[in-house]
Structure 1
Amino acid sequence: MTTVKFQLETLSCPSCVKKIESALHKQEGVKETNVLFNSSKVKVDFDGTKVTVEQLESTITKLGYPVLSKKVS
């Protein structure tokens, strides 16, 4: 199991959280997501053999939320 944490630009509304979580959960290999509205951070636990960090980042940016930084652990 791999974990990645994304720092996004400021989220403008609480519904953004559900939108991001829903899109990430549709990705094969994603086990858990946690989006923090107040800090604009996204934590994703995933199976690295089924989905890549780049694919997860692309999913977020396609929704219109620029990723400022990422940290994989």
Structure 2
Amino acid sequence: MTAELRDQLLGREVHSNLPARLDRLPWSGWHWRCILALGISWILDGLEVTSISLIGTLLQKNWDLSDTE
């Protein structure tokens, strides 16, 4: 590729109707499964953080851990 051709291609605007086509697509079962999976992951992540924070002090006392450990 020559420098002149590269400069012509880089200066050119690309027009696409892809966003409009994506907006016209219907909401499908795949979308619901994805939302459900993300919601379950979010809930489980919060549950993990909550459970670790609740049992952390108990483990610290039982295992003789310092605050930094």
* Short-chain TM bin: under 0.3
TM-score in terms of structure 1 length: 0.22
Q: Which has the larger share of strand?
A: 1
- Ranked by relative contact order (alpha carbons within 8 Å, sequence separation 6 or more), the top structure is 1
For the pair shown, the structure with the greater C-alpha radius of gyration is 2
Q: TM-score, normalised by structure 2?
A: 0.23
